[in-house]
Structure 1
Amino acid sequence: MASRDGNYNNRNQNSGRGSRGGGQNGGRGFGGGGQNAGRGSGGGGQGSGRGSGGGGRNAEPPPMPMASPLMGKKKKPFLGMAAPLGYVPGLGRGATGFTTRSDIGPARDANDPVDDRHAPPGQRTVGDKMKKNQEDDEEDLNDTNYDEFNGYAGSLFSSGPYEKDDEEADAIYAALDKRMDERRKERRELREKDEIEKYRMERPKIQQQFSDLKRKLSGMSDEEWLSIPEVGDARNKRQRNPRYEKLTPVPDSFFSKHLTTGDKHTTVDPLQGLNLPGGLESPYPGGMTPGLMTPGTGELDMRKIGQARNTLMDMRLSQVSDSVSGQTVVDPKGYLTDLNSMIPTHGGDISDIKKARLLLKSVRETNPHHPPAWIASARLEEVTGKLQVARNLIMKGTEMCPKSEDVWLEAARLQPGDTAKAVVAQAVRHLPGSVRIYIRAAELETDVRAKKRVLRKALENVSKSVRLWKTAVELEEPEDARIMLSRAVECCPTSVELWLALARLETYENARRVLNKARENIPTDRHIWITAAKLEEANGNTQMVEKIIDRAITSLRANGVEINREQWIQDAEECDKAGSVATCQAVIRAVIGIGIEEEDCKHTWMEDAESCVSHGALECARAIYAHALQMFPSKKSVWLRAAYFEKNHGTRESLEALLQRAVAHCPKAEVLWLMGAKSKWLAEDVPAARSILALLRGPSVILGTPVAGAY
Structure 2
Amino acid sequence: MFSGTKDFMGKPAPAGYIAGLGRGATGFTTRSDIGPAREASAAALQKEAQATTGDDAGDDERYNDDPENESGLFSSLPYDADDEEADAIYAAVDAALANRRKKRRDTKDKEQKASIDDQPDKLTDMFVDAKIELRNVSVDDWEALPEAANLSRRKTKKDLGRERFVPVPDSVLTTAHHATQVDAAVPAGQADGTHTDFVEMGAARDRVLGVRLDQVSDSVAGQTVVDPKGYLTGLNSVLHKSDAEIGDIKKARLLLKSVITTNKNHAPGWIAAARLEEIAGKLVQARALIAKGCEECPKNEDIWLEAARLNTIDNAKVILAKAVRHIPTSVKIWLHASKLEGELASQKRVLRRALEFVPTSMTLWKAAISLEENPRRCAHLADACPLSACRSPVDMWLTLAKLETYDRAKAVLNKARKTIPTAHEIWIAAAMLEESQGNAANVEIVIGRGIQALANKGTVLPREKWLDEAVECEQSGAVLTCQSIIKHTIGMGLEEEQFKKTWIEDAETCTEKRCYATARAIYEHAVAALPHKKSIWRRAAFFEREHGTREQLLHLLERAVAAVPHAELLWLMAAKEKWLAGDIHGARSTLAAAFQANPASPQIWLAAVKLEQENRDYDRARAFLARARDQAGGEPRVWMKSAVLERLLGDFDAAIALVQEGVMRFPTFAKLWLIWAQVEEARGNIAAARDVYAKALKSAPTSVALWVQSAQLEERAGWEAKARVILDNARMVKPKTPLLWYEAIALEKRCGNTSQARFLLATALQECPTAGLLWGEAILLEDRPQRRARILDAIKHCGESDLHVLLAVARVFWAERKGDKARSWFERAIKADDDYGDTWAYWLRFERMHGTPERQAEVVNKCVAAEPKHGEIWPRVAKAVENTGKSIEEILELVAAEVKSTV
State the TM-score, normalizing by the size of structure 2. 0.40
Bigger share in helix: 2
State the TM-score, normalizing by the size of structure 1. 0.50
